[in-house]
A = this chain, B = another copy of it.
Amino acid sequence: MTTQEMMKEYQDWIFKMSSYQMALSIIGIDKMTVAPVNGSAYRDERTAFLAGEMFSIETDPKMVEIVKQLKDDPEVDDDTRRAAAVYYENAVKTLCIPKDEFVAFQQLANESYDKWLEAKNKADYAVFEPYLKKVIEARKKMISDRNSDRSIYDEMLNDFEPNMNQEKYDTFFNALKERLVPLIKKVTEAKQIDNSFLFQDYDIEGQKKFMDHLLQYLHFDPEWGYQNETEHPFTSWTCENDCRTTTKYLKNNVVSAILSTVHEVGHAYYEHNIDPKYDGMILSDGVSSGMHESQSRFCENYLGRTRAFWEYNYPFLQKQFPQQLGRIDLDTFVNALNVGVPSLIRTEADELTYPMHILIRYEIEKGLFNGTISTDGLDTVWADMYEKYLGVRPSNAKEGILQDVHWSDGSFGYFPTYALGSAFAAQFMYAMRKDMDVEDALRNNRYTDCISWLKEHIQKYGFRYEADEIMKMATGEEFNVNYYLDYLEDKYTMLYHL
């Protein structure tokens, strides 16, 4: 086949895949937001069939051979070579799994998810433990089929964050441990900041009216974005002009929906700002989980929790809730948004203690796959670690090891990217500050000036370059965890008068 013939086949193939992907994405959003529950059996069965069609297209041997050749074909443009390489790598990873094993694992993951949910509701780790064990064994088998030189856990880390491994993560988390454990201790012992006024009764209609204002401030434009409500907020997309977020309103928490929206819209901007020439290609996607999380956390923490952000927005919130916030001044409000208090639930953790929640999960995952930790008694191991690193101890498995869904379907290696993303974001902020007056933009209703910087330096590239290449292009140097640790130390030293 000539290069031209291969390119024609390739273009048809990616268009075809992107069509199924779009359908599955929209069916997924629909399911999570509005689809009537009694129809789910009918829909799920057919969705699985369509996913199977997609799988068959993705692993079509003829196409795998074509992308294998295109990735090294000198006649092909750089973008396509890069895309072909990524497609090829993904296909090879999937192809090594016998289809029976793949199907059996899907089945196991579904059962394990159900058991996890049951266990969580009963706060009984024993219900979930046998499934966790089976899921780990199955994942070990699937990964070892790859015959890679890397260890199994390194392979999994690499799946979510290419080029990362235990050695690099160890260095990263050791740095965090070294500087954050003493910092958290000092903050815990300092005079505490009252934030109880954030947890009064805030009627949801009022929160929604403020949300209308906030989405305008964020320029989350209805022409390319849409926000809905779900139990667990997420972001989903079909192309750069179709990015959907969800949020959840809590009656007794005025900031939860706000910060989760700023976070999810951060994810949405990443997809929106990728160069449209990659549309429908694999390059039209965030390059790694860590990089995606860096964009959402940048928006949530480095913009959304700042005084400058609220200088503009707080009067609108006060006007919406005069009874609750009328007598709370701006500084009191912003300080309350930023308290650092060790707690048990990761998704409700503050900016300071959040990475410790991730550290604990990383150490456990490492132990599980390297054989130093077993699933037996893991709930106690978990509780001990929370006591050691955060000084708090879960009273049951629901607020302990059963709180997260991720392990139930075998997504090991994903958690570490959450902490990495926060650290990436600090370095991006340092670089951004050299180019522009961030506070001036935020306080003067020019939020998108910050987004434009992210677009120009990070987001537009999509999957075109590796995360570490983008880091270097955007900030002029390699990833350096000290930007993150300096930022946290400065911020919390000042906030708590340490």
A residues near B (Cβ < 8 Å) are 15-16, 18-20, 22-23, 26-27, 29-30, 34-39, 42-43, 46-47, 49-50, 205, 222-226, 228, 238-239, 241-244, 279-280
Give 10 A-B contacts (CB < 8 Å), ordered by A residue: A22-B27, A23-B46, A26-B26, A34-B244, A35-B242, A36-B224, A36-B242, A39-B238, A43-B239, A43-B242
Q: Which residues of chain B are near A224, meaning CB under 8 Å? A: 36, 38-39
Q: Which residue of B lies closest to A39 (CB)?
A: B242
Q: Which residue of B lies closest to A225 (CB)?
A: B36
- Decide if B223 touches A49 in the complex (CB within 8 Å): no
Q: Which residues of chain B are near A30, meaning CB under 8 Å? A: 26, 29-30
Q: How far is the CB of A124 from chain B (nearest CB, A)?
A: 21
Q: Which residues of chain B are near A29, meaning CB under 8 Å? A: 30
Q: Which residues of chain B are near A39, meaning CB under 8 Å? A: 224, 238-239, 241-242
- Assembly of this chain: how many copies? 2
- Decide if B36 touches A226 in the complex (CB within 8 Å): yes
Q: How far is the CB of A259 from chain B (nearest CB, A)?
A: 23
Q: Which residues of chain B are near A244, meaning CB under 8 Å? A: 34, 36
Q: Given A224-B39, A242-B39 in contact, is the A46-B34 Cβ separation under 8 Å?
A: no
Q: Which of B36, B37, B222 contacts A243 (CB 8 A)?
A: B36
Q: How far is the CB of A157 from chain B (nearest CB, A)?
A: 32
Q: How far is the CB of A51 from chain B (nearest CB, A)?
A: 10
Q: How far is the CB of A9 from chain B (nearest CB, A)?
A: 16
Q: Which residues of chain B are near A225, meaning CB under 8 Å? A: 36
Q: Which residues of chain B are near A42, meaning CB under 8 Å? A: 22, 238-239, 241-242, 279-280
| 8 additional A-B residue pairs with CB within 8 Å, beyond A22-B46, A26-B43, A36-B225 | A18-B46, A23-B23, A26-B27, A26-B30, A34-B228, A36-B222, A36-B241, A36-B244
Q: How far is the CB of A117 from chain B (nearest CB, A)?
A: 13
- Decide if A27 touches B23 in the complex (CB within 8 Å): yes
Q: Which residue of B lies closest to A243 (CB)?
A: B36
Q: Which residues of chain B are near A22, meaning CB under 8 Å? A: 27, 42-43, 46-47
Q: Which residues of chain B are near A18, meaning CB under 8 Å? A: 46
Q: How far apart sit A458 and B43, CA to CA, in the bound complex (Å)?
A: 26
Q: Given A26-B26, A26-B30, A29-B30 in contact, is the A241-B46 Cβ separation under 8 Å?
A: no
Most buried by B among A26, A225, A244, A279: A26
Q: How far is the CB of A344 from chain B (nearest CB, A)?
A: 29
